[in-house]
Amino acid sequence: MKIGKLRFSTWLFWITIVSMVGYIGYYGYWFMKGQPKFHGQMLLLVEVFIGILIASLPFLIEKLGNFYFPQIELVFFYIFLYMSIFLGSGLQFYGVTFWDKYEHVLSAMMLAGLGFSIFQGLLSARDNVSNKPFLMSLFAFAFGTTCGVFWELYEFTADGLGGLNLQRYEEAGRLLVGRAALMDTMTDLIADLTGAFLMALIGYLMMKQDPSSSRYLVFKSKRQNFFSSYYF
DSSP alpha helix (H) spans, 65-178: 71-81, 99-122, 133-162
Model confidence at 71, in pLDDT bands (50, 70, 90)? confident
Pick from 52-56, 87-91, 218-222: least confident: 218-222
Q: Count Cβ neighbours within 10 Å for each residue of 86-103 and write b for 16 or more, e otherwise.
A: bbbbbbebeeeeeebbbb
Q: What percent of the chain has pLDDT over 70?
A: 90
Model confidence at 230, in pLDDT bands (50, 70, 90)? very low
As a whole number, mean pLDDT of residues 1-29 equals: 85
For 97, half-sphere exposure in the C-beta direction (CA atoms, 13 angstrom radius) is 0
Please tell me the predicted confidence (pLDDT) of residue 27. 97
As a whole number, mean pLDDT of residues 182-191 equals: 95
**Residue whose C-alpha is closest to residue 154's, from 169, 167, 168:** 167
As a whole number, mean pLDDT of residues 176-185 equals: 90
Count the neighbouring beta carbons within 10 Å of the beta carbon of residue 130: 19
Q: What is the pLDDT of residues 123-170, one digit of tens each?
A: 865 566 667 899 999 999 999 999 999 999 999 999 889 888 888 888
As a whole number, mean pLDDT of residues 181-185 equals: 91
As a whole number, mean pLDDT of residues 27-51 equals: 95
Residue 226 scores a pLDDT above 50: no
Distances, alpha carbon 113 to alpha carbons 92, 120, 196, in Å: 28, 12, 8
Q: How far apart are CA 92 and CA 89, in angstroms?
A: 5
Please tell me the predicted confidence (pLDDT) of residue 225. 47
Residue 120 scores a pLDDT above 50: yes
Residue type, 70: P
Give Cβ neighbours of residue 221 (< 8 Å, ≥ 6 apart). 66, 67
